[in-house]
Amino acid sequence: MPQKNKQHSKQFKLDAVNYRKEHPDLTQVECAKNLGIGTSTLARWEAQFKDNDGDIPARGSGNYSSDEVKEIARLKRELRDAQDALFYRRQ
């Protein structure tokens, strides 16, 4: 059964990276298991933290500056979903 993607808050991600730093005696696998996340997820967050000067970018909360910007975001999602559907249909 496929696992549903869970979105974690930005604070959780930062706390996870700090947990890893605060427990140098634990491996990345052990830290991820203790946090209930995948090892690759923790590794990605650590890389993002490093690449963004101690910050982790988070998905927007859905607050758009205008209705036009919101509509553009919706259309981009729709296009991406249609392209994904076409790609998987060809396989």
By three-state DSSP, how is residue 61 classified?
coil
By three-state DSSP, how is residue 47 classified?
helix
pLDDT bracket for residue 71 (50, 70, 90): confident
pLDDT bracket for residue 1 (50, 70, 90): very low
Q: How many helices (H) and strands (E) does the chain have?
A: 4, 0
Highest-confidence range of 37-51, 56-70, 72-86, by mean pLDDT?
A: 37-51
Asked if pLDDT for residue 55 goes beyond 90, the answer is no
In this structure, what DSSP letter does residue 37 have?
A: S
Instruction: For residues 30-48, give the mean pLDDT.
Output: 95
Give this prediction's pTM. Answer: 0.60
